[in-house]
């Protein structure tokens, strides 16, 4: 069922809220072993910003691949207004696509096996790089499904990274999205953690 259109487009206070000159890279860790990478790159075209997100995971047991994950997502921002996203994912052999396009005051979202709907104007995809995502409803960047997690502030921590530990603010998401997010003192994405389906802990360490 398609919901009601939202009243206004989501805009950030100023262009500085978009880290257009700060590409991000993480190593994905499980049991102390690197199992993948996650990168966020920014390309500027006049007042338009393209955000390119890529993730790759390969889990091996006794050198035998047992799990593969590849995701590519692109966001477009017009000045400081979120405009659209599209993604393609291979989740261990299961293909999945999602996209959202702003039409007037609403964001029309489609996804594999998903009935198209109009998302609230302040909804953002779960690409994590933009801390503003925590302020409103979220769109699962892989499936397009609408999410309304509870966000709890957990305080400051010294977050492991590929270099010096990063002082970071810890946010715990619960409900229909369960994970831990971390942002440094400049509100730049610093890390992520979640429990995999097999109960193992997966963490992102910034490079």
Q: What is the pLDDT of residue 207?
A: 94
**Within a domain: 70:** yes
**Within a domain: 3:** no
CA distances from residue 40 to 53, 157, 196 in whole angstroms, order as listed: 5, 23, 22
**Within a domain: 59:** yes
**Within a domain: 6:** no
**Within a domain: 13:** no
Please write the tens of the pLDDT for every residue from 75-131: 999 887 899 999 999 999 999 999 999 987 789 999 998 999 999 988 999 999 999
Domain coverage including residue 37: 19-206
Number of domains in the chain: 1
Q: What is the pLDDT of residue 56?
A: 97
Q: What is the pLDDT of residue 17?
A: 55
Q: How many other C-beta atoms lie within 10 A of the C-beta of residue 31? A: 9
Q: What is the pTM of this model?
A: 0.87
**Within a domain: 98:** yes
Q: pLDDT-derived band of residue 4, with 50, 70 and 90 as boundaries?
A: very low
Please write the tens of the pLDDT for every residue from 24-36: 999 999 999 999 9
Please write the tens of the pLDDT for every residue from 138-188: 999 999 999 999 999 999 999 988 889 999 999 999 999 999 999 999 999
The residues that bridge with 157 in the sheet, in sequence order, are 168
């Amino acid at each position: 069922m398609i919901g009601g259109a939202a009243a206004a487009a989501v805009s950030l206070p100023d262009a500085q809220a978009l880290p257009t000159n700060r590409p991000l890279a993480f190593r994905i860790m499980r049991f102390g072993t690197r199992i993948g990478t996650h990168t966020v790159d920014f390309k500027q075209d006049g007042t338009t910003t393209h955000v390119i997100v890529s993730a790759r995971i390969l889990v091996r047991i006794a050198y035998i691949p047992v799990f593969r994950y590849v995701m590519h997502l692109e966001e477009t921002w017009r000045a400081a207004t979120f405009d659209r996203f599209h993604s393609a994912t291979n989740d261990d052999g299961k293909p999945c696509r999602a996209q959202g396009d702003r039409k007037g005051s609403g964001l029309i979202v489609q996804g594999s096996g998903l009935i198209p709907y109009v998302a609230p104007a302040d909804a953002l995809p779960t690409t994590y790089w933009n801390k503003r995502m925590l302020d409103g409803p979220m769109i699962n960047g892989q499936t397009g499904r609408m999410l309304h997690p509870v966000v709890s502030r957990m305080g400051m921590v010294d977050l492991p990274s590929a270099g010096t530990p990063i002082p970071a603010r810890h946010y715990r998401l619960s409900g229909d999205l369960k994970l831990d997010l971390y942002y440094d003192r400049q509100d730049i994405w610093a890390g992520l953690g979640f429990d995999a389906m097999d109960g193992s802990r997966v963490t992102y360490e910034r490079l």
